[in-house]
Amino acid sequence: MPALEFRSADARFRVHVPGATVQRLLHLCRSSGMLETGGILVGGYSATLDCARVSAASGPSGDSVRGPSSFQRGTRGLQKWLERRWTARGDHYLGEWHFHPYAPPVPSNTDLQQLGRIARTADYRCPEPILLIVGGDPAGKWLISAHVVPKGQTAVPLQLIQSPADHFAPCWSSSQ
């Protein structure tokens, strides 16, 4: 599975999702069937701080609430998982992800309000949280959307970079 790379129209925000992480997201979505699912994203930033690299995505914690058109991420076990990722790899909390089964990967007002709260809450230490939404059929035709919500601002949609012809160098190489 190839990596995915997203960027804002002004190239101020970029997100790199390695192929292995995309595969994990699709696996978690397939396992969820017709129910929404989700979790958190962790990783790091490029030296210039203009690109986030998602190194891992958690699955839903045991206290998450899932429905056919709703998902409320729980917290059970996430702190321990985050601490292990920090100790082993120096990973930071980057944001959230969830699945819209057989629906477009369009964030709801609730999704965007949640990210706005995360951006404003000092405990998260994440003033520009990322939201990835997987939509469609994870075993067939699927799409992933990416958004970032800078503190005190509205959501910024990120576009999938389709090819090198987009005239932007990748924000993360396999050697980083």
Q: Would residue 170 count as lying in a domain?
A: no
Write out the chain's pLDDT in tens, 176 residues. Answer: 889 999 999 989 999 999 999 999 999 999 999 999 999 999 998 888 889 999 999 999 999 999 998 899 999 998 999 899 988 998 999 999 999 999 999 999 989 898 888 988 888 888 899 999 999 999 999 999 999 988 888 899 999 986 544 445 566 655 44
Q: Would residue 171 count as lying in a domain?
A: no
Residues 6+ apart with CB under 8 A from 21: 54, 55, 56, 57
Q: What is the largest CA-CA distance in the chain?
A: 44
In which domain, by residue range, is 58 found? 4-160
Catalytic residues: 36
CA 23/CA 163 separation, integer angstroms: 20
Cβ atoms within 10 Å of 14's Cβ, excluding its own: 23
Q: Would residue 174 count as lying in a domain?
A: no
Residues 6+ apart with CB under 8 A from 42: 54, 55, 56, 57, 58, 82, 85, 91, 92, 93, 94
Q: Would residue 74 count as lying in a domain?
A: yes
What does the pLDDT read at residue 17? 95
Q: Would residue 169 count as lying in a domain?
A: no
The count of structural domains within the chain is 1
What does the pLDDT read at residue 168? 53
What does the pLDDT read at residue 174? 52
Length of the chain as a residue count: 176
Report the CATH number that the domain containing residue 82 is assigned in CATH. 3.40.140.10
What does the pLDDT read at residue 170? 63
Q: Would residue 77 count as lying in a domain?
A: yes
Q: Would residue 144 count as lying in a domain?
A: yes
What does the pLDDT read at residue 4? 94
pTM of the model: 0.90
Per DSSP, the residues of the chain read ---EEEE-TTSS-EEEE-HHHHHHHHHHHHHHTTS--EEEEEEEE-TTSSEEEEEEE----TT-EEETTEEE---TTHHHHHHHHHHHH--EEEEEEEEEETS-----HHHHHHHHHHHH-GGG--SS-EEEEEEE-TTSSEEEEEEE--TTS--EEEEEP-SGGGS---S--TT-
Q: Would residue 167 count as lying in a domain?
A: no
What does the pLDDT read at residue 165? 44
